[in-house]
Amino acid sequence: MPAIGWAAWFLRLVILAVAFGGVDALSSLTSAPGSGIAGIWVPGGVALAGLLLGGISLWPAIVVGGLAAAPAYGVLGASTVPVVLANTAAVVIAAWAIRRLGTDLRLGRMGDVARFLLGSLVGAVPMGLLGVTSLLALGPPEDDPLGSVVSLWLLSTVTGFVVVGGAITVLWLRRRSPVPPRRLAEAVGLLVVTAALAYGVFVVGWSGLTLVLLLAASVVAARGGPRAAALASVIVFSFAAVAVLAGGGPFGGESLTGRSLTYQTAVMVMAVGMQGLGALGSGEASNVPGTPGTAMAIGLLVAGGLALGLAEGVVTPEVILLVPKAQVTLIGLLMGLVVVAGAIAGTGLRGHMHALRRSRGRWWIYAAVAGIGLFATEELFLMSLSTIDTTRAIVLASLAPVILLILAMARREVPLTATVIGSLAVVLLGFYAITPGEGWLAGLGSAGVWFGIASSASAAVLLIALFECRRTAGTGPTILVSFAVGALCALVLCAAIGALPGPGVWGREDVIGAILYVGIVGTLVPIVLATWAVPVLGAAWVSLFEVLAPPIAVVAALAWDGTSLGAWQGLGIILLLVGVALGARAHSRDHGDGPLASPSAAGP
């Protein structure tokens, strides 16, 4: 390397080391006394942006800056070097993975946002391994379970990468892109409104404005593009951090770890969503979320199952102990509706209207039926969950693939063959093995069992309606109508039983973050992913994300509680996946609802 090259490299190295070390020292203020875990790990994002913009060869700056900032955490000693090396490895691996995935760092496409998130998740692996190893050796902080501390370690890493690293990278690479004066004034105005709402929600404590903040953030991201989305994410991130450090805001938990964990989850959901909406607002044609290919559709199913399983196994059981079931359904669906409405308003109605002009007029009937099915699925699952044990409720509420197969046989669309009988038998054995206690048949007379089965039937109706609707209509209008109808049903139920959510629900700091997760990740994300995938794979195969949820939920719940997975439960998970895959294959082969991608199925 020429002398000027070495000089430039060294100058960048010094700048990054000072920036990382300084921000890391400030980040120590968010950690508990004597703990090396920062509740808000901003320096990770600074370091990632430095490597993405300046080159991975700058990695020594992270080592130097980390060692310089270590005394600020009050844990300087033998553990300092492994922690600094783990931090460095996390940033280097994330930068390498993001680059290797072919990510356009300007984040102008939804695919690039997904690749940035995936690379960040890969980079967090060293932090998780270090966290598990050190906590098993030294023990977790007092009053904080092992699962919570490790989850915080991982989430704080990924949140720093996505929110801070993504914002710095996007803003730097787009710094010279011209913006029309009218568009600039609009973006500035929307950002000011978002900042004011974030201040009111997180600092003043006006939690009733949370839905308004979601709507404003959705609009500013979709209208302003990637740069506005990045700035909106940082604004929400910063004001929410103030609430965490002050021990308040809509984030529950008596300890800093507990509050930070809820905070990281909520902000991660909002940040990824806003950056995705920002990509939609960039105007690139490749962002039109039409019908994906088969491989992508299967990947969407896995992502939907993961999101649904984590929501059902970890978050929802905690929420229904604090909030009436009807209110959980209503608030969750309203959150999803607000985000969808903000996305459509931000990206403009022209593309969505164009998709509808290509569709037949009855698409909205199927979308309305999907909304009724969505409401029934959510409410019946909550009723089941509050009556019987969590694992059995989750398993029973995931019988949609089996019910679809039974319906197909009842309509003589699928013959009663050995494959079909075998798949049903394997599924039932899997259910029996995965449930605790006396197995699947225990408590068959309980209302909770029938609530769970009814929830599965509703999910089957939902998937069939989405399949029929997406033959002709676009994704956006389908989701908008479905969530609007579902929220209306929930509102009627709340009014009928006198359980309309009052301002007190929004003011409860131990509720709002969890309901945000249930509404966005546990409800909106799986439905959106299923809607995109269903024209390609059909209702039978898309229903697989329902059966992916129980294994994920069971493993997550056990890990959260600190217990281990039994041999029978592991066998049950394998049997579930094999049995349902066989059933879906038989249904798709004989029923014929396989790939149905067509130009009319695509839409924004």
Cα–Cα nearest to 216, from 231, 559, 430? 231
Contact criterion met (CB below 8 Å) for 149 and 135: yes
Question: How many C-beta atoms surround the C-beta of residue 252 within 10 A?
Answer: 19
Query: What's the CA gap between 449 and 455, in Å, rounded?
Result: 10
pLDDT tens digit sequence for 309-322: 878 777 788 788 77
Mean pLDDT of 296-320: 78
344 Cβ neighbours under 8 A, 6+ residues apart: 352, 476, 480
Res. 109 pLDDT band, cuts 50 70 90:
confident
Mean pLDDT for the stretch of residues 323-349 = 82
Here the tokens at position 571 are 């066998």
- Pair of tokens at residue 215: 């709507």
pLDDT at 259: 65
Q: Given pLDDT bands bounded at 50, 70 and 90, which one contains residue 600? A: very low
| CA count, 13 A, side-chain hemisphere, 133 | 10
Q: What number is the average pLDDT over the span 326-353?
A: 80
Question: CA nearest 94: which of 56, 134, 132?
Answer: 56
pLDDT reported for residue 6: 76
The answer, yes or no, to whether residue 195 has pLDDT greater than 70, is yes
Query: Which of 19-28, 44-53, 135-144 has maximum average pLDDT?
Result: 44-53
Residue from 349, 326, 310, 365 nearest 559 by CA? 310
Q: What is the largest CA-CA distance in the chain?
A: 80
Q: Give the span between the Cα atoms of 127 and 135, in whole angstroms.
A: 12
pLDDT at 326 over 70: yes
Give 409-462 pLDDT, tens digit per residue.
776 666 667 777 777 777 777 777 766 554 445 555 578 888 888 998 898 889
| 489 band by pLDDT with thresholds 50, 70 and 90 | very high
At a CB cut-off of 8 Å and minimum separation 6, what does 506 contact? 207, 208, 210, 250, 512
Query: Looking at 21-30, 175-184, 256-265, 338-347, which range is the least confident one?
Result: 256-265
Query: Is the confidence at residue 597, as pLDDT, over 50?
Result: no
Report which DSSP code applies to 565. P
Q: Which residue has the higher pLDDT, 361 or 299?
A: 299
Is the pTM value of this prediction over 0.85?
no
Share of the chain above pLDDT 90, in %: 10
Closest CA to 156 of 273, 17, 36: 36
Model confidence at 161: pLDDT above 50 = yes
Q: What is the pLDDT of residue 564?
A: 59
The region that residue 488 occupies, defined by phi over 0 for left and psi between -120 and 50 for alpha, beta otherwise, is: alpha
- Identify the pLDDT of residue 1: 40
pLDDT at 594: 40
- How many CB atoms are located within 10 Å of the residue 572 CB? 26
Contact 95, 52 (CB under 8 A): yes
Which range, 151-155, 335-339, 375-379, has the best average confidence (pLDDT)? 375-379
In three-state secondary structure terms, 224 is helix
Q: Mean pLDDT, the chain, as a whole number? A: 76
The answer to whether 365 and 423 are in contact (CB under 8 A) is no
Instruction: Answer for the pair 403, 460: CB distance below 8 angstroms, yes or no.
Output: yes
For the ranges 117-121, 437-441, 529-533, 537-541, the lowest mean pLDDT is seen at 437-441
Question: In the structure, what pLDDT confidence band is assigned to residue 603 with cuts at 50, 70 and 90?
Answer: very low
Position 490 confidence tier, pLDDT thresholds 50, 70, 90: very high
Q: Please choose, from the candidates 549, 236, 181, the residue with its C-alpha nearest in 3D space to the C-alpha of residue 396.
A: 549
Check: CB of residue 397 under 8 Å from CB of residue 312.
Answer: yes
Cα separation, 110 vs 241, in Å, equals: 27
Yes or no: say if 203 and 144 are a contact pair by the CB < 8 Å rule: no
b/e map of 535-564 (b: 16 or more CB within 10 Å)?
bbbbbbbbbbbbbbbbbbbbbbbbbbeeee
Mean pLDDT over 63-74 rounds to 75
The CA angle 274-276-281, to the nearest 5 degrees, is 90
- Please state, in angstroms and rounded to a whole number, the distance separating the CA atoms of residues 527 and 30: 36
Question: How many whole angstroms from its chain centre is CA 320?
Answer: 20
Nearest 5°: CA angle at 325, between 323 and 327? 70
Please, are residues 105 and 170 in contact by the beta-carbon 8 Å criterion?
A: yes
Whole-number percent of the chain with pLDDT over 70: 72
Residue ranges per structural domain of the chain = 3-280, 288-601
